Structure 1
């Protein structure tokens, strides 16, 4: 009887020890991480994934960037399958479609690959964490607020988006439409949402088409780095320069000349390199068992500091920043 009591006590102690086991406090060395952007020839994606590579170097991970040359809904599938076959510890991706990738991502999760989305999300079931550049509502509303100031809150406006299925674009546009319902925008009318498919030439053509189709157009929001630079390129040599305000999301380096020549007064963005950097730290923290993706968990992300996991696994980098002639030379990305 005494032996049985001692055995049960030992078993209870062992279970207690397991229940209160501490999560690892440091990132594992040698983690294998795949970075999968929407498409590899997009300037924004290049900066974003470089941030991921920088983070990987800091934590001693082996990271690589792979991806398609186009931003089609199914173009990323083969790269997800390769990550599974190569037994990658984590996959960090900017999704081209919210739902098309779900079967493949779920297969990756079942194989033990930790999934983190950045910039453009999938449905919640397809990943553990989503690294959002800024609060989606804040981005969408801020774009309308900025354009409103630029055009005196009066006139027809349009949106030059990326692809029709881009989840980040569509979410931002939804919040733009909500912002436009406020009384101060009663004299502003959204006449068209055009799609440049994150292709430079198509975005250029779509901008041209908007200006020709809507003679009372006063402003355009292009919440995509490809779209805003292509739109600015068209506008810079158009008779509408100085008459149609263009704003949106772009990088300082691609927009600097257009700001300085008066084509664009102001635009917004965050540092895309920081998005990839934060996403890679998050993925490594997951793969190391430091966090599970539960709301309220915290983790450190190198130079960016401490972050908290929010509802549905969302982690927000920070608010968008407005660039103009007064500050644009302070930035180089």
Structure 2
């Protein structure tokens, strides 16, 4: 009898263990299934700097994507255009276990290691404004760089008569896209308009209107032949226009470059900014998240890939190119809606 009871107890324990094991497998499967559901994706978008109009519009695209697909997608970023702060934010996101990180890098090189760490943890990484970014699964661009730079250069040359001295503003000396444009502008103007010369090395003030204003005031005092400012970074032309307005030099110096239409409107209408060039920043936010979700869904990104309402897409390595530039003038700025 004792032997029978012992066997019965042993069988009971074995059945109990099997049930626990089965339950555990079911919970694991349920968790994986739940994680594969769109509503459980967490996509963090790290911008260059929060609090400026460009990235407020960019965030609208992220929110639109989140609403359309029921995904937890949101924007975060440093309070100033600081690459080290971006690294800290990304490290925190890695530790929190997000599914995807989308980034607009302040410094492509500085971010390489932390983006690789994210990938090593199985986190999807998508960048924008940073072609060929090391540590990214894909990079998406809203314009074709050389063509965009030439649009800006031609407008600058047209307005200053193709001669004189010009200054180049960028967000920082390490922002990939701004410096790629600046490189091409220098080459293009040297070839097509040899009577235009760069007055000094490019200046990092394009993400700070107050700094761009002070920089412009200093340049006006230093370079008597300065007649053109090309600003990459949405705050560079704004600050330059403020300085020209203060110094009553609107008719003497051409300002062109990146602006948000509504933010630059008063300067477009006064002539302090001759023309702005951009794309819709909301498209960048939306496209970044859309690509991240495509990867998380384990779908292919190939020649048949498309993003709703974005037009034609070209793939080059891990770069995805969309050619949607806009030219912003005093006559059309209201039509863009941002």
Which TM class, normalised by the smaller chain length? 0.7 to 0.9
Counterpart CA distance in 2 for 1:286 and 1:36 is 18
The structure-2 alpha-carbon separation of the partners of 1:266 and 1:124, relative to structure 1 and needing over 3 Å to count, comes to closer
State the SS of the aligned residue for 1:54. helix
2:58 paired residue number: 48
Asked whether the equivalents of residues 131 and 140 of structure 2 are also in contact (C-alpha less than 8 Å), the reply is no
- 1:259 Cα deviation (Å)? 1.0
Asked whether the equivalents of residues 133 and 319 of structure 1 are also in contact (C-alpha less than 8 Å), the reply is yes
2:253 paired residue number: 244
1:181 paired residue number: 190
- 1:265 Cα deviation (Å)? 2.1
Q: 2:281 pairs with 260, 272, 278, which one?
A: 272
1:136 paired residue number: 145
The structure-2 alpha-carbon separation of the partners of 1:89 and 1:299, relative to structure 1 and needing over 3 Å to count, comes to farther
Q: 1:62 pairs with 64, 72, 75, which one?
A: 72
Counterpart CA distance in 1 for 2:243 and 2:199 is 20
Q: 2:123 pairs with 109, 113, 124, which one?
A: 113
The structure-2 alpha-carbon separation of the partners of 1:149 and 1:41, relative to structure 1 and needing over 3 Å to count, comes to same
Correspondence 1:323 to 2:328: yes
The structure-2 alpha-carbon separation of the partners of 1:220 and 1:289, relative to structure 1 and needing over 3 Å to count, comes to same
Asked whether the equivalents of residues 138 and 319 of structure 1 are also in contact (C-alpha less than 8 Å), the reply is no
State the SS of the aligned residue for 1:39. coil
Counterpart CA distance in 1 for 2:256 and 2:65 is 31
- 1:283 Cα deviation (Å)? 1.0
1:332 paired residue number: 337
Asked whether the equivalents of residues 98 and 123 of structure 1 are also in contact (C-alpha less than 8 Å), the reply is no
- How many residues align structurally? 302
Counterpart CA distance in 2 for 1:221 and 1:305 is 28
Counterpart CA distance in 2 for 1:130 and 1:238 is 41
- 1:29 Cα deviation (Å)? 4.0
1:313 paired residue number: 318
Asked whether the equivalents of residues 99 and 123 of structure 1 are also in contact (C-alpha less than 8 Å), the reply is no
Query: Structure 2 stretches of 5 or more lacking a match?
Result: 1-35
**Structure 1, residues 155-191: CA drift from partner, whole Å, max 9, x if none?**
1111122111111111111111121132x30211111
State the SS of the aligned residue for 1:158. strand
- 1:304 Cα deviation (Å)? 2.7
The structure-2 alpha-carbon separation of the partners of 1:29 and 1:290, relative to structure 1 and needing over 3 Å to count, comes to farther
Counterpart CA distance in 2 for 1:239 and 1:66 is 39
Asked whether the equivalents of residues 127 and 133 of structure 2 are also in contact (C-alpha less than 8 Å), the reply is no
Asked whether the equivalents of residues 102 and 123 of structure 1 are also in contact (C-alpha less than 8 Å), the reply is no
Correspondence 1:38 to 2:48: yes
TM-score by length of 1: 0.85
Asked whether the equivalents of residues 44 and 74 of structure 2 are also in contact (C-alpha less than 8 Å), the reply is yes
- 1:303 Cα deviation (Å)? 3.3
State the SS of the aligned residue for 1:76. helix
Higher RCO (CA-CA < 8 Å; seq separation 6+): 1
Counterpart CA distance in 2 for 1:321 and 1:237 is 28
1:300 paired residue number: 306
Asked whether the equivalents of residues 311 and 322 of structure 2 are also in contact (C-alpha less than 8 Å), the reply is no
Correspondence 1:191 to 2:199: yes
1:14 paired residue number: none
The structure-2 alpha-carbon separation of the partners of 1:27 and 1:136, relative to structure 1 and needing over 3 Å to count, comes to farther
**Higher fraction of helix:** 2
Query: Structure 1 stretches of 5 or more lacking a match?
Result: 1-25
**Structure 1, residues 175-218: CA drift from partner, whole Å, max 9, x if none?**
11121132x30211111222216222211111111211111111
Counterpart CA distance in 2 for 1:194 and 1:127 is 28
Asked whether the equivalents of residues 102 and 122 of structure 1 are also in contact (C-alpha less than 8 Å), the reply is no
